[in-house]
Amino acid sequence: MPEKIAPKLMRKWLKMYDDGSPVDVIAKKSHRDVRTIKRYIEQAKHEKLAESVRGNIMMEAAQHHQEDLLGVVKDIMGELEADTNKPEITSEDADDLSSVELSTESSSYWELLRQHLPRDPLWDLIVKWKKAYADFADSCDAVHTITSDLLVEKCRCRIVNANTEPPFLFTRAAELICTEAMTRAMDGKPKTDIAALLKIDRKSGNVMSGGTIMAVAPGREDEFAGYIREVLGKVNDSDETTRVYYKYDTLKQANGKARRAAEDILMLGMIPGLCRICRKLGL
């Protein structure tokens, strides 16, 4: 039965050989047959090569893993940076924004990133940003509600999405008023000037702002235009619109803090800590 040689001894013989010692000299020093030395030097070579290949594969896998994790942080940054633009929240999407979720949260790497950084301030700051966004959406929804209510109260007609028996208001009338009021609150100036752009087409009975039809009221065009101006003034001065300003300011601050936390991680150039995948890689 061939002698069983310990791996440590095989590696020692290989090192001696790589350092320039002939096989017969190694055999003499080790009190072994030359054929034994040759066989185990070759085995040690193969094992060393296999270990090197495994090490390179593991290193490459770990590098890809890090790149994927950093990609999640970059995606978070991208979504937060997109939010730095002034949101234009319509009545249709205000309810959807009452519960905000980053698209990256559906990624399996979101969970892995949290395992790597369980106590990083980023997570609490994202929660605060979500709360601020939801509060902002609620304040926008309140402006939409008061706008629609005032329009119906003043014009005494329905707000519709498509043509029907006049008189009626289009939903875009409320949307335009809300957008102007909220932009004025957030920016200090309106995106457009509905009142200045209001015009009447007596042939069709349309009341328009620019090229947008806000209402159809044949014979009552001047009356409806006056109501629209009056509602715009009341919405501009409403508590609901004032709250948009404060909620938006809170949202900006929460966004900035979350972005800075994400930037801090990216500046490291790597994600510290371990996750279940790291452990499978033997890291």
How does residue 220 score in pLDDT terms, banded at 50, 70 and 90? Answer: very high
User: Looking at the domain assignment, is residue 139 inside a domain?
Assistant: yes
pLDDT in tens, 39-59: 888 888 888 877 877 778 788
Asked whether residue 2 is domain-assigned, the answer is: no
Q: Where is pLDDT greater, at 201 or 3? A: 201
Domain count, the chain: 1
Contact 53, 40 (CB under 8 A): no
Task: Give the span between the Cα atoms of 46 and 128, in whole angstroms.
Answer: 56
Residue 75 lies in a domain: yes
The pTM assigned to this predicted structure is 0.74
The answer to whether residue 1 sits within a structural domain is: no
Structural domain of residue 56, as residue ranges? 7-280
CA geometry: angle 12, 17, 21, nearest 5 deg: 115
Largest CA distance in the chain: 117
In a domain, 154, yes or no: yes
Which pLDDT belongs to residue 1?
53
Is 176 within the bounds of a domain? yes
Phi, psi dihedrals of residue 258, rounded to the nearest 5°:
-65, -40
Q: Is residue 62 part of a domain?
A: yes
pLDDT of residue 96: 53
110-136 residue pLDDT tens? 999 999 999 999 999 999 999 998 899
Judge contact between 79 and 103, C-beta under 8 A: yes
Q: What is the pLDDT of residue 274?
A: 93
pLDDT digits (tens, 9 = 90+) for 157-184: 999 999 999 999 999 999 999 989 998 8
Between 67 and 101, the more confident residue is 67
